[in-house]
Amino acid sequence: MIRGQAWDQGTKFKANTNATMHILCGCTETDSQIMVTYTVEEKDTLSDIANLLSAEVDEIENVNKVLLQKPGFIKVGWVLFVPMYKNGVPPRPPSPPSPSSPPSSSSSSKKRKDFKWAIVFGVLLTVIGILLCLSILMFMKRRKNQENDKENQKAVSKTMSFHKSMASGQIRYLSKENMEGITGFDTERPLVYDLDEIAEATNNFDDSRKIGEGGYGSEVAIKKMRSNKSKEFLAELKVLCKIHHINVVELLGFASGDDHLYLVYEFVSNGSLSEHLHDPLLKGHQPLSWTARAQIALDAAKGIEYIHDHTKERYVHRDIKTTNILLDNGLRAKVADFGLAKLVGRTNDDDFIATRLVGTPGYLPPESVKELHVTTKTDVFAFGVVLAELITGKRALMRDNREPNKMKSLITVITKVFEEEEDPEGALVSIRDGSLRDSYPMDDLYKMAEVSYWCLSEDPMNRPEVREVVESLARIVMSSVEWEASLGGSSQE
């Protein structure tokens, strides 16, 4: 294996013979694409992989010429480089109609349909163009600031190498057992920061820079915890050092000292999904449109799918909730806070028994509460609650109006719609988030509620895999974008 790309074992080399090997570097990125790796699984095709990771088949073939010498032929276990589009594959212009084709009796309806798609493509291309322009402007501005102020650059410096920092004793507050876990990381990224850099970046942890419980930041976000939480620290460190995905918050490095441990993340500027759903106006946010909610759901599902199915080891997050889904300036979602993440196998028997109940009340499935069982279906159940929050705008646990001293679960609200109501659509409309008003497509609202109900199945065997949830939500997003385009590009009245 060379940097993740397998060399054809069928090639035979003779002793003392020089051979040229073209080795592709997988750590490349442009404004619109990022290179990721994918391990081929049973029944995969290049078309499936391209659809799954927002890529083009011909571009995958171009960067994997060593392996893909036979058109369309791939083997289980191959590691492919995939040039993934950050904002989805740009739509291709429709082919012009053949001049020799006879006129159809439904030509007028076809023209209307083509015009409708033209509007959708136009909106998407405009959004992509604006995002590219903004990215270029932000890059130029940041570069100028770095040149004018080297001291500020030092505050978020990433130049200290991993081995140099290890030698300087910056992780001296971790136990010997945890030290062994850290030295086993397989990464080329600089990981260890000097404690002085952390203090400078946070202005000595000034409360004015506090962005959440245990978190500080502006250009970066720094999570601070006491050293007696080193197991949680190490769990998050081990997971995030090996995960690089557009829908997962990226770990930049870590530090320790002064009886505290520090994780340094990319700064996700728009706060948590919870802030945008529950009393958003009081927190300085506008209510989310329906299309934004659908896209956030798809982004978060893709982040969870990545840690379940597309990493070398499979992880269970164990604390999926709206406060652990962060939004950037474009309201695109990233999954955060892997402090409770647990490694599981890739066999059919991939569950394990936890030694204690972990997670957040309101998001825990029955098997975790009763028997402490944890599987990937644990995350699926919690994500079903997140979908219910996106639909209703309500919290996972809320006061019961009939019995103020008791808490009511959002899970029961959704299950009642499909199990007890004679008119599920009417019941769903009555519980949907009032801030949506009437600006939402009823079909897509109902389909998302069905996905939520599916995820909330009491029996984990009846719940979908996250990849099935991603497929369903992708169709909902496409349909919602078409609906919004039919309104003139905005779902807000």
Q: Write out the catalytic residue numbers.
A: 319
CB atoms within 10 A of CB 341: 20
d(CA 380, CA 377): 5
Nearest to 238 by CA among 378, 352, 310, 341: 341
Question: Which residues pair with residue 373 across a beta bridge?
Answer: 353
Residues ≥6 apart with Cβ < 8 Å to 262 = 193, 195, 198, 222, 223, 224, 225, 254, 255, 256
396, two tokens: 């996972």
HEC sequence for 356-423? CCCCCCCCCCHHHHHHCEECHHHHHHHHHHHHHHHHHCCCCEEECCCCCCCEEEHHHHHHHHHHCCCC
Q: How many residues does the chain have?
A: 493
150 class by beta-carbon count within 10 Å (0-12 exposed, 13-18 middle, 19+ buried)? exposed
d(CA 320, CA 437): 28
469, two tokens: 């949830």
Q: Is the dihedral of CA 33, 333, 340, 309 positive or negative?
A: negative
What is each CA distance from 109 to 92, 99, 106, 114, 267, in whole angstroms?
Answer: 22, 19, 5, 9, 48
Residues ≥6 apart with Cβ < 8 Å to 175 = 230
Alpha carbon 359 to its chain centroid, in Å, reads 19
Q: Count of alpha carbons within 13 Å of 398, Cβ hemisphere only?
A: 15
261 class by beta-carbon count within 10 Å (0-12 exposed, 13-18 middle, 19+ buried)? buried
Radius of gyration of the chain (CA): 25
95, two tokens: 């082919």
